[in-house]
């Protein structure tokens, strides 16, 4: 008999390159809960405030999504959009235009966020005939080599990377050293100087509306508006990475709808397919028209089963979007109240149901405290609440499914806060 745990078996046969936040083994999930086996064989019900990294916005195994997947799988699983036409991706693109405010865009479907980024970078080079990109420190756009070249993470491990790529600081209010107005003016001046110097070979500026992996830091609206204005002025493409912020997570279909900006290119994935691997690179039809047929493509792009899951996800998410801000407001109020005097809580911030709690060794020095966050995450899991971190491990991030009820969410927050107070 094999008495190894599943995690031990996995360690033996799976590549060790994939890191794991926990050793938790789950057997299934429904709604906001994951199921696992307790020490005495009893079923543990774990409130999942990670949503598989902002993916399962409709909760685990939403019946409408499951039904759509099953129906499509019995009709057609694959034929390749490069060979024939079938209805799924066409209907999905039509519905994205009709429902989500992306009426002027065309779509190239992918299987992941990083592929959406690769498509965006290739489109930008092809269309502008310029090589350079401008990205931001702390930004994370994926793990394929083009995406790594425009991300802060993993740069050192994979040199030489695609270039030229320039980096400027992401506008982080919590760590700003000047008064707000001066900080914003300086940030914009730095951007303007970079654009003035490099516009002749600059294909695109790529930025997240809110840093995801980098620490759940929302950009001030004026910063994204400055990016848009300067891109328009210099004939540079504005790529907005909405892979983590998209599909209702922030209380709008897409975060840029809060900011009043109109990017040339938007990258999507994560919450799009309720866990089925689908993403998209959306570009203004006028830009997409300049990308020559055959200059890019893929075997699985617009897979019928993934497209069916995405269409069902749109239907489930649509009525939830107006509820997101009220839920987020309640969550923020409770967090602010319960953690007001916590010595290790430096900042609580968010946009819709993307909430970050930045933890520090003390509030005056603001030195990041990833070690303490690790302790809190393990203790929260012992209390059957799953949370994960970002921002170099120092920011606890909450990204519950959008179907979560207020009672469920506040229960999870209360259990998390209790753990945070127990470990001070
Ligand atoms: C903003 C952003 N862009 C791109 C990616 C990469 O997505 P994927 O892991 O699906 O390749 C991520 C993943 O965390 C992300 O948060």
How large is the average pLDDT for residues 126-144? 98
Tokens at 174, concatenated: 């919590």
Distances, alpha carbon 3 to alpha carbons 14, 35, 192, 196, 282, in Å:
18, 21, 62, 64, 49
pLDDT digits (tens, 9 = 90+) for 360-393: 999 999 999 999 999 999 999 999 999 999 999 9
- Among 142, 271, 356, 399, name the best residue to mutate to test ligand 1's pocket (greatest count of ligand atoms within 8 A of Cβ): 142
Report whether pLDDT(2) > 80.
no
- Among 114, 150, 215, 389, name the best residue to mutate to test ligand 1's pocket (greatest count of ligand atoms within 8 A of Cβ): 114
Percent of the chain with pLDDT over 70: 100
Q: What is the CATH number of domain 64-318?
A: 3.40.640.10
pLDDT in the model for residue 295: 98
Q: What is the CATH number of domain 6-61+321-422?
A: 3.90.1150.10
Report whether pLDDT(298) > 70.
yes
Show me where the domains of the chain are located.
6-61+321-422, 64-318
Hey, do 6-61+321-422 and 64-318 end up sharing a CATH topology, with the first three levels equal? no
Residue 295 C-alpha to ligand 1 middle, in angstroms? 23
pLDDT in the model for residue 38: 81
Residue 250 C-alpha to ligand 1 middle, in angstroms? 16
pLDDT in the model for residue 153: 86
pLDDT digits (tens, 9 = 90+) for 236-289: 999 999 999 999 999 999 999 999 999 999 999 999 999 999 999 999 999 999
Residue with the nearest Cα to atom 8 of ligand 1? 113
pLDDT digits (tens, 9 = 90+) for 27-72: 999 999 999 988 788 899 999 999 999 999 999 999 999 999 999 9
Report whether pLDDT(1) > 60.
no
Mean pLDDT of the chain: 97
């Amino acid at each position: 008999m094999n008495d190894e745990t599943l995690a031990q078996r996995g360690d033996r046969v799976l590549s060790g390159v994939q890191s794991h936040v926990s050793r938790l083994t789950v057997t299934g999930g429904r709604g906001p809960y994951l199921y696992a086996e307790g020490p005495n064989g009893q079923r543990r019900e774990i409130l999942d405030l990670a949503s598989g990294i902002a993916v399962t916005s409709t909760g685990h195994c939403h019946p409408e999504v499951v039904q759509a997947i099953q129906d499509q799988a019995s009709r057609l699983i694959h034929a390749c959009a490069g060979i024939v036409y079938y209805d799924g991706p066409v209907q999905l693109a039509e519905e994205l235009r009709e429902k989500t405010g992306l009426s002027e865009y065309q779509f190239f479907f992918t299987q992941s966020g990083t592929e959406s980024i690769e498509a965006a970078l290739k489109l930008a080079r092809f269309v502008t005939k310029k090589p350079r990109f401008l990205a931001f420190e702390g930004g994370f756009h994926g793990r394929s080599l083009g995406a790594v070249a425009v991300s802060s993470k993993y740069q050192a491990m994979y040199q030489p990377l695609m270039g030229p790529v320039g980096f400027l600081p992401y506008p982080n209010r919590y760590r700003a050293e000047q008064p707000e107005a001066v900080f914003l003016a300086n940030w914009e001046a730095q951007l303007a100087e970079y654009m003035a110097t490099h516009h002749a070979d600059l294909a695109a500026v790529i930025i997240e509306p809110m840093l995801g992996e980098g620490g759940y830091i929302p950009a001030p609206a004026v910063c994204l508006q400055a990016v848009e204005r300067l891109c328009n002025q210099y004939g540079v493409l504005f790529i907005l990475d909405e892979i983590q912020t998209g599909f209702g997570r922030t209380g709008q279909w897409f975060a840029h709808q809060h900011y009043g900006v109109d990017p040339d290119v938007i990258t999507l994935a994560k919450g799009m397919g309720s866990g089925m691997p689908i993403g998209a690179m959306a570009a203004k039809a006028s830009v997409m028209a300049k990308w020559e047929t055959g200059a890019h493509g893929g075997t699985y792009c617009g897979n019928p089963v993934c497209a069916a899951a995405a269409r069902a996800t749109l239907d489930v998410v649509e009525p939830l979007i107006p509820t997101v801000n009220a839920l987020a407001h309640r969550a923020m109020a409770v967090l602010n109240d319960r953690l007001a005097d916590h010595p290790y809580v430096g900042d609580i911030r968010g946009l819709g149901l993307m909430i970050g709690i930045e933890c520090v060794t003390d509030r005056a020095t603001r030195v990041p405290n990833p070690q303490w966050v690790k302790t809190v995450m393990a203790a929260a899991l012992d209390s059957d609440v799953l949370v994960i971190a970002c921002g170099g491990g120092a920011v606890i991030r909450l990204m519950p499914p959008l179907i979560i009820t207020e009672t469920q969410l506040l229960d999870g927050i209360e259990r998390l806060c209790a753990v945070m107070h127990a470990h001070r």
